[in-house]
Structure 1
């Protein structure tokens, strides 16, 4: 049911306040739409149902699919401010020949009633063709903003269909008030499958994670969509980890994600969470391990120590084998320090 089009009824009491010669049996309907157009329909009080059908034809809406003011059973309605109603009355009052058109409409209505009565009284007599309404022969009032002209119920030409938008696109008017957010993201492959991380710089041991079992891919695999329910309880700015089974991803995409973690462009909307893998993230360079040095069989200092011990043994008349090794080492250290008494 659409209320973007409106039929606003004025009865003869309202119109008599604007026009001194307005016929009491005739009312007026303003047929307005959100594009700014406004058409006038004159009607007799006995033909309210007929004028509703005429209003539907003018507005290109079926009965019940346009708003009616004042309220009428079976039709949606709309609240109209008193100030707006007064503006409409002022605009109607500027049409000087409208009262004369209403008088012509009353004459046509009475003539139609008399013709039908006569045809009913003489069934064998052929009915005369209906007279051309006098009001139709008159020129339409000058337009005003919004457009304001006298209209009679006649089929409107079909509007050309708008070109369909490409799949995945929405018209601007549909998303102007829609909320969306763009959290920082990262995507990687691990032992739990494909992992999407929101605000990875804030992840800690306390960060919540969710298992996601529903994923849909764009036809070129450049991005994929997760259900909004995957972010249940999440608030913008908070970290979150989403794990998806790797088998749900095309093999080529799995192989690409396995090479290195990537930055993820994430868009959160009421329809879903859209993820597009971006450039690979730089990986820290591994420090080269220092080469293992093989310990020499006998260090130079130890060779010197053995030589000194040999000399010391000769000097004292004692062989190296007879010396206690610890005492020999201590002796060498003392000789090096100058603390060993000279040999006699």
Structure 2
């Protein structure tokens, strides 16, 4: 689950990481802002590159802020309409840096990356300015690693204690909530000599959200399409693609193989839709409705491998979901494994 900047900073703040004050706005005017001008108006989208797309604006007056908000809410950034804007006080700072914690599956560790330059794509930075430290989840981040990162960033010695606290909080937050990514870009040193997370990005493992439903407080439905929100409520995994064959499967591996076969045959998939381990009639009805309601979908391919989930159960759920009526679009079904013969 990807978090926008506002939600990321809420999580940062809960974890003891210093962030600017901020107010989240939707279209509909400018309310009272509890901090003085000048302000920074920041589009809340999940894609990168919003600055280059004009998604971050400055305002010195309330009138200018209203005009800029109107422009921002009319923007489309990489296919995502701007529906939320975060307002912050403009920060004065002398240094920008990069700091992140990511899950590195290859080394089975948490990877801490620090860069002497911030506010830019870390991939484009000079490798000499980057330091990477790996920490095992059961051992944590060692004090010497914190010092290595601090001295690499060439920060003033009086910031060692606050930097150590910030980095430890970022690492512990990543471990506690099973984050795939926790990024501060940029981390700045203000003119007052304090550290501040000026921008943030967080991605939470979706499985962790299922274990800890309280993390749903950071979910923002405006970033998803209506189909994605409907599927999420039903416990399905759905992503829209560019084809015309509606696809329903159980398991991501089978979905990828099915899409490969379809694309190879010139039948491009219109979506990724994974039933997961459950296929009751309510979930099946939602899945079929999503595919039937999609005007791009000309036919539906249902490919189920019966393991724990019985193909016979899927067939019964499908009949209940259709309610005895013929399907609105042609359906091709393939069952294999547990209950396949009974299901067909």
TM-score by length of 1: 0.19
TM-score by length of 2: 0.19
Q: Which has the higher contact order (CA 8 A, sep 6+)?
A: 2
Higher alpha-carbon Rg: 1
